[in-house]
Amino acid sequence: MTTPYGPVENTLSELRQLLGDRLTTSAAVREHHGHDESGFKPLPPDAVAFVKTTEEVSAIVKLCAKHKVPIIAYGTGTAIEGHVQAIHGGICIDMSMMNNILQVNQEDLDCTVQAGVTRLQLEQHLRDTGLFFPIDPGADASLGGMAATSASGTNAVRYGTMKENVLSLKVVMADGRIVQTGTRAKKSSAGYDLTHLFIGSEGTLGIITEITLRLHGLQEAISSAVCSFPTVDDAINMVILTIQSGIPIARIELLDGLMMHAINRYAKTEYAEQPHLFLEFHGSETGVVEQAEAVQELAKEFNGSDFTWATRSEDRSKLWKARHDAYPSALQLQPGTHAITTDVCVPISRLAECIRETRKDIDAASMPIVMLGHVGDGNFHLAILPHPDRPEEIDEAEALNHRLVRRALALDGTCSGEHGIGQGKITFLEEQNPEGVVVMRQIKRTLDPDNLLNPGKVLRLDE
């Protein structure tokens, strides 16, 4: 596919008529929108459009389609695979002003939000309704971005990912058409599943402007706990047995010893600097006690420490803040670095083997590497921290990542559990599923024939 993009100038004047001062070409704003939280080279768009309605997005896309100018949807810029860089220039559509919560249907346990509403904004809004939205990727991402990248995070082990928690999307297609993918009905067999086609498509098939989400009733009881282990192996084996026993644990997160050291330094905490599990139990009062007792028994079998409990809401928040601080904490181990993050996910029965082999790589590496992850799902991350002045360490980090991906694929796993493909994992996706990539390209080419939507992400189209 050749991509002869048009010059942006004509588009800019027409966009300015449409948006007034909500279109900006200021260098600072363009810079800000030219990168996510990864180390991928910043590539600013030609202009940033701050939109307020789906109809505006549609009008912008129509203009861009007419002039063959690329379009990149932007939520909060918290992706980590180079998702928002304007590789071929073009217009960045910033969704942050589309931040209205359009309806909360308490009786139906669902809500509809504009794409720019953030996770914490929704959490705040739902306070006092008795309902909550479980998907928690850590960052205060926008719900549009979370849908576009199929986000998950710490609660997925019990509540699933965005794939299981979106009922319907409103999407602007590459020619400006507006499509509603589903209804508020809890289930549907009405034609092809367009909702799931757009979840995880990373802005390359359409621009998500509204999301209808499933909500969940607040649990009667919630208890959080932390527990340390002498080795990662012990911690992982305990996780595997917890999952295989069918205990409906809500969160079970691994952090290795170096990760705990980094958190202690960053967050002024005093955890033992050895592998930890952070856990959470949801259910009825008796259900939570049943689960907690069963899991404590398992921890003892694998040399786990006594659990330190947090049950009051503020104590739980404090405990989980340490977990959510993991990424900035890790970066401080190597000031000035851009972390290279890995994201494999394997069947739980292969997790111990995958991690054991990976630890050998970590031990042999010349730079600091922390390990953490949503191990109840078989998904874990390394943050590899090359020294900013030693480019050879970047090569070493990438080679390690590639070995890890191949290891995961050989164990029936995937190169990306939750971070998506972006620019960073295009080759890995091809390696994982060459036949599938052919089908993905067919879909991309038919829905976006001029390759205007977030070009250069997810798929290589030049073959």
Instruction: Rank residues 14 and 280 by Cβ distance to a copy of itself and give the closer one.
Output: 280
Q: Extract the tokens encoding 357.
A: 């082999």
235: tokens are 């911690």
Question: 3-state class of 453 per DSSP?
Answer: strand
Residue from the set 419, 452, 453, 454 that interacts with a copy of itself by CB under 8 A: 419
Kindly tell me which of 4 and 246 has the beta carbon lying closer to a copy of itself: 246
Does 421 bind a copy of itself (CB under 8 A)? Our answer is yes
Does 290 engage in binding with a copy of itself (CB under 8 A)?
yes
Among 58, 85, 154, 161, binds a copy of itself (CB under 8 A): 161
Please tell me the distance from the alpha carbon of residue 295 to that of residue 185, in angstroms, as a whole number. 36
End-to-end alpha carbon distance in the chain: 7
Q: Which of 18, 29, 97, 194 binds a copy of itself (CB under 8 A)?
A: 194
Please give the full DSSP string across 338-388, using - where no structure is assigned.
Answer: --EE---B--HHHHHHHHHHHHHHHHH-SS-EEEEEEGGGTEEEEEE---T
- Could you tell me which stretch among 58-66, 115-123, 271-279, 412-420 binds a copy of itself (CB under 8 A)? 412-420
Give Cα separations from 33 to 54, 84, 182, 205, 331 (angstroms): 20, 7, 31, 20, 21
Q: Can you state the percent helix, strand and coil of the chain, rounding each to 5?
A: 40, 20, 40
What letter would DSSP give residue 460? Answer: -
Q: Between residues 29 and 197, which has the closer beta carbon with respect to a copy of itself?
A: 197
Provide the minimum distance between the beta carbon of 108 and a copy of itself in the complex, in angstroms, as a whole number.
4
Alpha-carbon separation of residue 64 from 93, 269, 295, 392, 443 (angstroms): 11, 50, 55, 40, 20
Per the structure block, which two tokens stand in for 152?
């998950």
Go through 171-205 and write b for each residue having 16 or more CB atoms within 10 A of its CB, e for each that does not. bbbbebebeebbeeeeeeeeeeebbbbbbbbbbbb
Options 84-92, 178-186, 312-320, 333-341: segment touching a copy of itself (CB under 8 A): 178-186
Q: Which 204-263 positions form the footprint of a copy of itself (CB under 8 A)?
A: 205, 216-217, 240, 244-246
- Binding-site member from 187, 293, 389, 462 for a copy of itself (CB under 8 A): 187
Is 346 an interacting residue with respect to a copy of itself (CB under 8 A)?
yes
Tell me if 100 contacts a copy of itself by CB under 8 A.
no
- Using CB under 8 A, pick the residue from 97, 267, 365, 447 that binds a copy of itself: 447
Closest approach of a copy of itself to the CB of residue 413, in Å? 5
Rule CB under 8 A: is residue 199 a binding residue for a copy of itself? yes
Q: Are 73 and 207 in contact (CB under 8 A)?
A: yes
Beta bridge partners of 103: 112
Tokens representing residue 31 in the block: 């810079």
Q: Which of residues 117-136 bind a copy of itself (CB under 8 A)?
A: none
* Residue 84 vs 394, nearer CB to a copy of itself: 84
Q: Does 412 bind a copy of itself (CB under 8 A)?
A: yes
The residues in 21-80 that bind a copy of itself, with binding defined as CB under 8 A, are none
* Chain centre distance of CA 226: 24
440 interacts with a copy of itself by CB under 8 A: yes
Residue in 417, 424, 455, 456 binding a copy of itself, rule: CB under 8 A: 417
Q: Kindly state whether residue 178 participates in binding a copy of itself, applying the rule CB under 8 A.
A: yes
Can residue 427 be called a binding residue for a copy of itself (CB under 8 A)?
no
Per CB under 8 A, the list member of 232, 326, 348, 383 interacting with a copy of itself is: 348
Which of residues 164 and 315 has its CB atom nearest to a copy of itself in the complex? 164
